[in-house]
Amino acid sequence: MTSDRFPAILGATAMGVYLLVVVGATTSLTNAVAACGAWPVCGGGYALPTEPAGWIAVGHRALAAVVGVAVAVSVLLAWRESADRRVRAALAFSLAVFPAQAGLGAFVALGSGPLRIAGLTVPLGLTHLVLGVTIFGSVLAALAWWLEAATGDPDDAPTDFEAGTDDLPPVDDAPEPSVPTATLPRLRATAAAYVRLMKPRLMWLLCLVAAAAMALAGGPGFTPYAVAATLVGGAFSIGASGTFNHVLERDIDRRMQRTNDRPLATDLVPVSRAVAFGGALTAVSLGLFWSVNPLTAALGLVAILFYSVVYTLVLKPNTVQNTVLGGAAGALPALIGWAAVTGEVGGGGLLLAAVIFLWTPAHFYNLALAYKDDYERGGFPMMPVVHGETATRRHILWYLGATFVAAAVLASVAESLGGLYVGVGVVLGAVFLWAVVRLHYERTEAAAFRAFHASNAYLGLLLFAVVIDALVV
């Protein structure tokens, strides 16, 4: 029987390294280093800090020592547990690189100049960040390979699935949804149906993405009208995209248990009225965006067309990479929010969009696992349907790690992000990682939903932290 101790230590070590990276990437540590410009402590190198900021630097160095010990313990356990050669190699590499990372930290603390490599000038801070990310990636890779070897089934990938939603066989086991026939209950159901067409569960999170981008951008363009018009316009654009998605997938929705009670699948809302509703939402949305600036309106139109046409008609039914490429739909609100405040597509907006883009597969693959049979019934080539559950769980962990790295890079660029962003990212990130590790061991629908909800909590609270940190700076 496989020991749970080793992956638990690997997970804790990975998050310890990540804490070092993300704290080191924020300006809070930069200011702390200025208050404690010596090594290993302050003063002449052995005095305690005299300013509160100096304790942040000392705490960072103490944590680095603890994490270094954890990396060494992980290496020893890898040999003791007879881990795969890839696992041992990844951890040995992490242990070999860690002293260089610590040494660079000492040079940064002492205020040394940039490195000169092959005639090129390399900033110490950037090198320190890159090495930290490399160590984090190596530990996470070891965890992923261990989990795959311990819990995976290399033969679980289907061999006869063909993507496509044309000429699907009839379904006999999907229960018929109940639709009220009495006048008042039907009116209430119809009103609720129009709300459901807009996919309100997506609306709050994507509007929060736009809000975080606007708060990060800040500046004179961050006005109450720009914020209100962008968020209301964003809500309507998400509603329009959701409505068109319902229209285009209505026949497939009837085949799937999780969607066969949707308004168009049950004929509660006529197709013509749904199209008109989506068109009206689009017009209002683009009008509000245009009142902010033309670029915001153009990006809003791209977002509606991408989700409604590119994702729904091209990506989702035809490629196993539909979830990955479809992540652009969730990332566009970051560009919209940034453009609404600045009138351009800037680096901060692109980095926030990258966080959302990479988070999407780590988030949605959990739902794909929970509804694997339903997606197969609908003819959608989702990752677990095409490549199996083992490969899907592996990809969740890889994309989770990539999301963490993108979030750390965002912290290094956005000067307004500080302690709240770091705390939420590490604590909720650890919860998300724990849920994914448990998914590997339990391999149940309940575990998939647990990881799905953990991913929602991670991103939602991280975005709230962005907004709060950016506004109080």
Q: Which domains does the chain carry?
A: 5-151 (no CATH), 183-472 (1.10.600)
Q: Is the pLDDT of residue 191 over 70?
A: yes
**pTM attached to this predicted model:** 0.89
**How much is the average pLDDT of 438-446?**
94
User: How far from each other are the two terminal CA atoms of the chain, in whole angstroms?
Assistant: 51
d(CA 72, CA 76): 6
User: What are 327-383's pLDDT values in tens digits?
Assistant: 999 999 999 999 999 999 988 999 999 999 999 999 999 999 999 988 988 889 999
Amino acid present at 147: L
Q: Is the separation of the CB atoms in 349 and 221 below 8 Å?
A: no
Q: Which of 379, 425, 423, 419 is nearest to 405 (CA)?
A: 425
- Residue 24, pLDDT score: 76
**How much is the average pLDDT of 195-224?**
92
361, two tokens? 């597969």
User: What are 156-167's pLDDT values in tens digits?
Assistant: 776 666 665 555
d(CA 324, CA 364): 9
- Residue 1, pLDDT score: 36
In this prediction, residue 32 has a pLDDT band, given cuts at 50, 70 and 90, of: low
User: What are 260-294's pLDDT values in tens digits?
Assistant: 888 888 888 899 999 999 999 999 999 999 999 99
Q: Is the pLDDT of residue 415 over 50?
A: yes
Q: Is the pLDDT of residue 2 over 50?
A: no
Q: Is the pLDDT of residue 56 over 80?
A: no
In this prediction, residue 118 has a pLDDT band, given cuts at 50, 70 and 90, of: very low
- Which residues fall within 8 angstroms of residue 52, CB to CB, at 6 or more apart? none
DSSP character string of 218-232: -STT--HHHHHHHHH
- Residue 451, pLDDT score: 96
d(CA 393, CA 19): 24
DSSP character string of 140-158: HHHHHHHHHHHH--TT-S-
- Count CB atoms within 10 A of the CB of residue 386: 20
State the chain's mean pLDDT as an integer. Answer: 86
Q: Is the pLDDT of residue 135 over 50?
A: yes
Cα 318 to the center of its chain, rounded Å: 23
- Residue 62, pLDDT score: 84
What is the 8-class DSSP label of residue 344?
Answer: S
User: What length is written for the chain?
Assistant: 473
d(CA 275, CA 289): 21
